[in-house]
Structure 1
C-alpha cells in the first residue's frame, strides 16, 4: 500500500518477536504521514499497542517489524522517540525499501554514513491534524525566536532511527566505545554470539516477515552482530531494518537468524536481548531505507589470528567482514581488545609486532615486523598494524584481496627505550677514502650509558673543500629526513613497489647513521638515482613530465640494537682542501 492511500485513523497490525522465535502481532493506528520527510521519502507515523508495548514503549530490535493495513504491507517500524511513554513510531514506506532491493549495486554509488537525523520544517508544510496529535503526545517542540523576528515558527521532531542492539562477545567496554561513532545509535549488550554454523533449508520454513534477523560483523572468539527484524521476503530476497546499520552502500555481510531471550524495559530505550543463530545468507545492501540481502548466498569473511605473548599467552581466532572501509576498523578494534583484555592498560609497555598479510595470487605473505613502546593506555602501536592493511585495500594499482591476517604481539612491561645522547668522531678534517672512527653514546632509561663504536669510510670521490653532514637518529627522524630530501621515494609506481615499501619500513630498534654528501641525484617513478653526472641531472631536472623529484646523495648504515631507539644527533665533517 502506497503512502497516498494511507489516512489518519486507519488501523492495522504489525508483526515481531517478543520472545524466542515466535512471531506475534501488535496493533497499530495511523497518526498521519509526514510528507517529504527526507528527500523524496515520506514517513508514516503510527501508535502501537498490544503485547508488552504498553509497558516498554518502542523496543530496540523492532527495527524492520512489518506493518499491515487491510493485510497490505505499508512498511517497517524504523524510527522513534527516546524517553517517550507512548509506543509511537515512524514507519519507513515499503516502496522506499523495495527500491533498495531492486537497486543495481554495480551502477550505484555508496552513500556516506550519516549521523542521527533530527528533522525540522515549517509549520504550514504538514497536515495540521498530524501536528495536533504530535503536540498532544508531547513529541513536537517549537523553536523560540526573539521578538520582532519575521519568520514562521518551525518545529522539530526528535525522531531518529530506533537503536539497533549490537550483540557482542569477548569485547571490553573500552574497545566498544571507540567504535560508537561508526555504528551511530546502537545499544551494546554482552551476550553469547553466533557459532558460525550454516542454516539448512528446513530452518527457513518459519523465517518470514516479523522474524528476528542478525547481521554478523565479527565472529569467532570475538564476535559482534546487529539484531533487527525481517520486513519482507520474496523467495530468497529479503528486506529488513527500515534504516541502515552504517549506510555503507554495497556491502557483503553474513545474515543469520536470531532468538530473543527477553525484553529489557527501560524509560530511555527498551531493548530486545537476543542472540544470533545459524547463518542463512548474506546482506548485500546497507542503504538509507533498508538493508537487503539474499538467503542461500554466503559471504567469505577474512580469517584473523592474534597471538598475545606476555604475562599471559593467549590466541584469538576470529573473522571480520571484507570491506575497504570496515575491515581495517574492525581488525583494529579486535586487536586492541585482545591486547587490552590480556595485558595491563596503564603504564609502560614494550611490544614486538610481527604481522603477516596473505594476499590472493601471491605465494608468500607480506611480512612486517617492528618494535614499539607505549607509555600510556592508548596502544598507539596498533595503528602501525592497521596502516598497511588500509593501504593495501585502498591502493591505486590493483584490487588486493586479503585472504588472511596473522599477528604475533610479544609484550613486555619494561621500558626498553634508549636515547641517542652524543656522538664523537676521531677527526673532523677528513680526506677521500679515509676511515673515521665514530663513538655513539646511548642512554638507556634508568640505566647507565652504553657506547657503540662505528667505523665510517669517506667516499673516494668526495670533493675537496666540501662538507659531510653525519646524522645519527632513530627510525622516525630518518623517515622525516627522507621525506624532505627524497619525497619521490615515498610515491610507489607499482603494486610490487608498494609491497617493498611496506616490508622495508625502517625498524625502530635500529640506530641509523647517515652521511649526507653534496652530490645530488634525483628520484624518478619511485626509484632513486644518486650521483648523476651534472649534464644528465640538468636535463632531467628540466624534464617536461611528472615523476621527477630531487634526491640528495647519502650513505646509510644501520646498527641493530635490543632497544627502542629515540633521538637524533648531528655533526659536520670537513674535507681537507689539500686532498
Structure 2
C-alpha cells in the first residue's frame, strides 16, 4: 500500500511539472501571455458591437468601434473554386476612423474583436461611397493559411474579383444591397456590377518606394500593371532604414532583432531593401508564438513566397474619394512572409528570407562621375526582373542625367546556385549603341538574361549575387560593314577562303579587315552564301548603301544569335554558350548552302566565327561563293 501511494505521488508530481511546463510554453509562445480567444462565425450575430486595432500615426496601436451588419457568403460567380467561405460586413466608427478618413488602405488585417474575442481581420472598404463600411475575413478562414505546405504552386488568378451574397438585403447608402464585389481595382470591373451590388476595394496600402525617380517608377508600373499596384514615391529624406542583417541561409535567425509585433501592429512586406526600397504596409491580425497572420487579403497572390517582413512607421493617412490610404516606411527587419493567399498572408518572426544582393556601378565618361547603388531583392522571378529594370533606369539616368543616344560598355558578373547545389559563375562584357535609348538597350540585355536564367527548362537556378559595371558616353562608337570581297581565284573543299571586309567607322575613313576562313573538306558541290554581319542588323538608319545585296534585320537591335537557338542538355552548357556568344563588337562570319540558310556549313567545327573589334558592328553583307570543280 505504501508503495502504491509513492507511485501515485510520483505520478502526481510529474503531472504537476508537466502542467507548469505547458503553462510556461503557452506564455512564451504567445506575446503578452496566453493566446487570444476567438469568436467563431456560428456565434456571431448581426448588431453585435466590439472594437478593432490599427496604427494611423507612428507605431502606436489605437482602437476604433465596430458593429456587425451582416454575414455574407461567396456565390462563386467568378468561378474561382479556391475562393469560398464567408465574410463579415461591419461598420466602423470613432476618432481613429475620423482621423483616417474612414477605412484606409493599409488598415487591412486590422484585428476585429467582439466580446473581447477575435473574429477576424479587416479586408476591404466601400469605395467612392461610405468609407466606414467594410468587410472582415473570418479568423477561422485565415487560420487555414497555416495548413498550406511551404512548397506549393501559385494561387488562383490574382486579379479575379470575389463576389459575396447577402442572405437578406442590407440597407447601405440609401439603397438595398444584395451582394458585394470585392476587388483590387474597381475601374477594371467596368459594367460587370449589378445595380444591387456594392463595390468594395481591398484595403491594401500602395507600394511605397524610396530611391527611384519618376521614370523608374513608370517602368515598374509598366511591368506590374496587372497587379494593380499603386506605386507611391516616398522622399528619401524620411531617413535611413536599419541595415538588413547578413543572412547565411533561409532558415537562419538573428539575435538582437527587436520584436514589437502584436495584433494591430503595422507591418511591412518588402520586395527590395537598401538604396532602393519597395514596401507595402498592412496590419498584423493574429500571432501564435513565432507565426503570424496579416492583411486578411492577398498581397500579390503568389502562393508560397519568400518575402521580407518588417515593422512599419506610419507617417500619415491621406483622404481620398476612392479610399483613404496610409503612407509609411519600413523599420526593423522582423522575419519572413511565407504564404500569400486569398484570405491573407502568413509568416514567421525571427526567420529571414534569402535576399539577392545587387550592386550597380555606373560611370558617365563625359561628365566624369560615378555612382554605386546597392540593394537586396527577394528571390521571385517576376519581382526580380521588374525591380531590376526600374533600378537600372534609376542607376543610369541618375548619373548621365539625360536620355537618348549613346554608347555603353557593360560588364556582368553573376553568381547562381542550382537546385542540385551546383554553383555557377558568369562573367561577360558587351558593348552597346543606341540612337534613341541606350538605357533601354542595357535593360533588355539584363532582363533578358534573367528571364532565360529563371525560366530555363533544365534546372531550377537562382541568382545569389549580381554586379553590373556600366560606362556610358554620348559619342557614337560604331562601324558599318560596307563591302565583302573574296580574293581567291579558285575555291576548293579543304582550302582557305581569303576574305577582305571593308568597314567604315562612324564619320571616319573605311578600314579593311583581312580574314582567312577554312572551307570544310567534306563540303558538297552546292554554291555557298557567306554572310558577314554585326549583331545590330538595322542599316536603314545608318544611311548605308551597298551594291552587294543586303538582308535587312526586321527589327532594330541585336540579331538573334545561334546560341539562342541551340538546344542544350545541361544548364552549365547553356551558360557556356551565353558567355562565349558573339558580342555586339564582333564581326561575325557564317557559311550556309545558298538558298537555304538553315543548312549551316561549319567553320573550324563551329557554325560561326567571330573577329573582335573595339566598336559596335552594324549591317550585314551576303556574298555567293562558287566552289571549283577540281
Question: Normalised by the size of structure 1, how large is the TM-score?
Answer: 0.83
Asked if the contact 1:437–1:454 (Cα under 8 Å) also holds between the matched residues in 2, the reply is yes
**Is 2:260 aligned against 1:184?**
no
After superposition, give the CA deviation of every residue in 1:251-298 in whole Å (9 maximum; x if it has no partner): 112211112222223334322222211111111111111110011112
Q: Distance in 1 between matches of 2:52 and 2:590?
A: 73
Mapping 1:242-391, distance limit 5 Å: 242-310=296-364, 311=367, 312-360=369-417, 365-377=425-437, 379-391=440-452
C-alpha distance 574-203 of structure 1, shift in aligned 2 (>3 A)? closer
Q: What is the match of residue 203 of structure 1? A: 258
Q: 1:34 aligns with which of 69, 72, 75?
A: 72
Q: What is the match of residue 124 of structure 2? A: 79
Q: What is the match of residue 146 of structure 1? A: none
Q: Counterpart of 1:96 in 2: which secondary structure?
A: helix
C-alpha distance 424-197 of structure 1, shift in aligned 2 (>3 A)? closer
Offset, 1:187: 4.7
C-alpha distance 201-65 of structure 1, shift in aligned 2 (>3 A)? farther
Asked if the contact 2:561–2:581 (Cα under 8 Å) also holds between the matched residues in 1, the reply is no
Asked if the contact 2:413–2:425 (Cα under 8 Å) also holds between the matched residues in 1, the reply is yes
Q: Comparing 300-309 with 369-378, which one deviates more in the overlay?
A: 369-378
Q: Distance in 1 between matches of 2:513 and 2:315?
A: 68
- More strand by percentage: 1
Q: What is the match of residue 240 of structure 1? A: 294
After superposition, give the CA deviation of every residue in 1:47-90 in whole Å (9 maximum; x if it has no partner): 11112423512212111111111112111111123333432212
C-alpha distance 177-88 of structure 1, shift in aligned 2 (>3 A)? farther
Asked if the contact 1:324–1:393 (Cα under 8 Å) also holds between the matched residues in 2, the reply is yes
Q: What is the match of residue 63 of structure 1? A: 108
Offset, 1:318: 0.8
Q: Counterpart of 1:379 in 2: which secondary structure?
A: helix
Q: 2:169 aligns with which of 96, 116, 129?
A: 129
**Is 2:491 aligned against 1:430?**
yes
**Is 2:497 aligned against 1:439?**
no
Q: What is the match of residue 625 of structure 2? A: 573
Q: Distance in 2 between matches of 1:4 and 1:569?
A: 78
Q: Distance in 2 between matches of 1:141 and 1:299?
A: 37
Q: 2:512 aligns with which of 452, 458, 472?
A: 452
Q: Counterpart of 1:330 in 2: which secondary structure?
A: helix
Q: What is the match of residue 409 of structure 1? A: 470
Q: Counterpart of 2:206 in 1: which secondary structure?
A: strand
Q: What is the match of residue 159 of structure 2? A: 115
Q: Distance in 2 between matches of 1:128 and 1:25?
A: 30
Q: Distance in 1 between matches of 2:495 and 2:416?
A: 47
Asked if the contact 2:308–2:352 (Cα under 8 Å) also holds between the matched residues in 1, the reply is yes
Q: Distance in 1 between matches of 2:56 and 2:410?
A: 46
Asked if the contact 1:208–1:230 (Cα under 8 Å) also holds between the matched residues in 2, the reply is yes
After superposition, give the CA deviation of every residue in 1:477-533 in whole Å (9 maximum; x if it has no partner): 69x99x999799611101221111221221011111223368x9x99xxxx9969xx
Offset, 1:555: 6.5
Q: Distance in 2 between matches of 1:154 and 1:265?
A: 27
Offset, 1:103: 1.8
Offset, 1:10: 2.1
Asked if the contact 2:414–2:426 (Cα under 8 Å) also holds between the matched residues in 1, the reply is yes
Q: Counterpart of 1:421 in 2: which secondary structure?
A: strand
Q: Comparing 41-50 with 82-91, which one deviates more in the overlay?
A: 82-91
Task: Report how many residues are paired.
Answer: 536
Offset, 1:411: 1.1
Q: 2:93 aligns with which of 49, 54, 66?
A: 49
C-alpha distance 574-267 of structure 1, shift in aligned 2 (>3 A)? same
Q: Comparing 393-402 with 558-567, which one deviates more in the overlay?
A: 393-402
Asked if the contact 1:374–1:381 (Cα under 8 Å) also holds between the matched residues in 2, the reply is no
Q: Distance in 2 between matches of 1:241 and 1:213?
A: 9
Q: Distance in 2 between matches of 1:485 and 1:162?
A: 48
Alignment root-mean-square deviation, CA = 3.6
Asked if the contact 1:45–1:90 (Cα under 8 Å) also holds between the matched residues in 2, the reply is yes
C-alpha distance 113-566 of structure 1, shift in aligned 2 (>3 A)? farther
Question: Normalised by the size of structure 2, how large is the TM-score?
Answer: 0.76
Q: Distance in 2 between matches of 1:457 and 1:299?
A: 53
Asked if the contact 2:480–2:504 (Cα under 8 Å) also holds between the matched residues in 1, the reply is yes
Q: Distance in 2 between matches of 1:512 and 1:437?
A: 15
Q: 1:3 aligns with which of 41, 48, 64?
A: 41
Q: Distance in 1 between matches of 2:456 and 2:520?
A: 42
Q: Comparing 158-167 with 499-508, which one deviates more in the overlay?
A: 158-167
Mapping 1:482-497, distance limit 5 Å: 490-497=566-573
Q: Distance in 2 between matches of 1:448 and 1:424?
A: 21
Asked if the contact 1:16–1:229 (Cα under 8 Å) also holds between the matched residues in 2, the reply is yes
Q: Counterpart of 2:172 in 1: which secondary structure?
A: helix
C-alpha distance 437-137 of structure 1, shift in aligned 2 (>3 A)? same
Q: Distance in 2 between matches of 1:402 and 1:110?
A: 21
Q: Comparing 496-505 with 428-437, which one deviates more in the overlay?
A: 428-437
Asked if the contact 2:178–2:196 (Cα under 8 Å) also holds between the matched residues in 1, the reply is no
In structure 2, stretches of 5+ residues that fail to align are 1-38, 77-82, 182-192, 246-253, 538-550
